[in-house]
Amino acid sequence: MTPIEWQIATISAITPETPEVKTFGLSLPAWMRHQAGQHYDVRLRAPDGYVAQRSYSIASAPETMGRVDLTVEHIDGGEVSGYLHEVPMVGDRIEVRGPIGGYFVWDEKKGGPLLLIAGGSGVVPLMAMLRHRKAVGSTVPTRLLFSARSFDDLIYREELAALAADGSGLEVRFTLTRSQPPGWTGFTRRIDLPMLTEVAGPLGREPLCYICGPTLLVEAAANGLGDLGIAPGRIRTERFGPTGS
């Protein structure tokens, strides 16, 4: 079988999303259609041959041809995310390979109703799903529950609001766990069972669920959905970050 080859992408755009998050538009010489939810590996190489690799979720829809957008959160002390946030400029070249991953993926054929739950930059692969949903004109009933620390940490906030207003059957709910702006009407706490009941309830007993975020959030959300009677096989998870224990 042919391996997924490394290729040299050219950075075609760098877009700040929040103070800690940027999106890198990459032009690819060997672009391949991905599935929403997949990732690319990025490889950095120092002059002495030292290399560092990380995986980053694709934010763009599969329908965006010739390019992928990777949205990257700046991790404290992060060797690769720190480099990406501080050094590259548009026109710089960078080694990548992908798309990778075959389970945490959604396309219209998988149907719904769709329940997406995100913590922080865990929204990135879910955004690819929502952009795909939009690109193919899907009206699958969909709900996104997005947890972030503060209003300014809500990645894609305006685009999400626009998608939710387009009449396609998407509802977006935010929870801000650390601080809220004046007049905030969304949730103000960590994801818990009452919140999941409220958000998931209208989707019925068998929504297809994708949860991505820090480990503790994913554990809480996945266990909660289990408590609501959703079958484990309908719940797909992707976790990042330390365990906290």
Partner 1 sequence: MVRQVQTEAGVDEKFVTRGFVGRSREPQSRAERIPPGQYETRDFPVLSAGPTPRVKLDKWSFSIEGLVKQKVGWSWDEFQALPAQDFLVDIHCVTKWSKLDTRWRGVSVDTLLEHVELDPRAQFVTAFTWEGYTTNMPLTDIINGRAFVAYQYDGQPLPAAHGGPVRLVVPQLYFWKSAKWVTGLRLMDKDRSGFWEQAGYNNHGDPWKEERYTGD
Distance CA 21, CA 184 (A): 23
| Contact string 46-75 vs partner 1 (x = CB under 8 A) | xx--xxxxxx--------------------
Residue 109 tokens read as: 């054929």
* Rounded least distance, CB 24 to partner 1, Å: 13
Within 172-231, which residues bind partner 1 (CB under 8 A)? Answer: 215, 219, 222-223, 225-226
Nearer CB in complex with partner 1: 102/137: 102
Burial class (CB within 10 angstroms; exposed 0-12, middle 13-18, buried 19+) of 14: middle
Nearer CB in complex with partner 1: 100/162: 100
Distance CA 65, CA 7 (A): 16
Residue in the block written with tokens 């970050």: 241
Tell which one of 63, 92, 152, 206 touches partner 1 (CB under 8 A).
Answer: 92
* Torsion angle in degrees (nearest 10) through CA of 88, 89, 95, 98: 110
Tell which one of 10, 14, 43, 157 touches partner 1 (CB under 8 A).
Answer: 43
Tell which one of 19, 45, 90, 171 touches partner 1 (CB under 8 A).
Answer: 45
* Rounded least distance, CB 207 to partner 1, Å: 14
Distance (Å) of CA 146 to CA 9, 129, 137, 186, 212: 31, 14, 22, 10, 10
209 close to 111: Cβ distance less than 8 angstroms: no
Nearest to 154 by CA among 193, 182, 183, 181: 181
Nearer CB in complex with partner 1: 91/167: 91
Which of 217-238 are b and which e, b meaning 16 or more Cβ less than 10 Å from the residue's Cβ?
bbbbbbebbeeeebeeeebbbb
Distance CA 25, CA 15 (A): 8
Nearer CB in complex with partner 1: 103/166: 103
Nearer CB in complex with partner 1: 149/239: 239
Distance CA 19, CA 173 (A): 21
* Rounded least distance, CB 180 to partner 1, Å: 29
Segment interacting with partner 1 (CB under 8 A) among 58-66, 143-151, 157-165, 232-240: 232-240
Within 128-167, which residues bind partner 1 (CB under 8 A)? Answer: none
Nearer CB in complex with partner 1: 13/32: 32
* Rounded least distance, CB 95 to partner 1, Å: 6
What residues line the site for partner 1 (CB under 8 A)?
1-8, 28-30, 32, 41, 43-47, 50-55, 79, 83, 87-88, 92-95, 100-104, 215, 219, 222-223, 225-226, 232-233, 235-243, 245
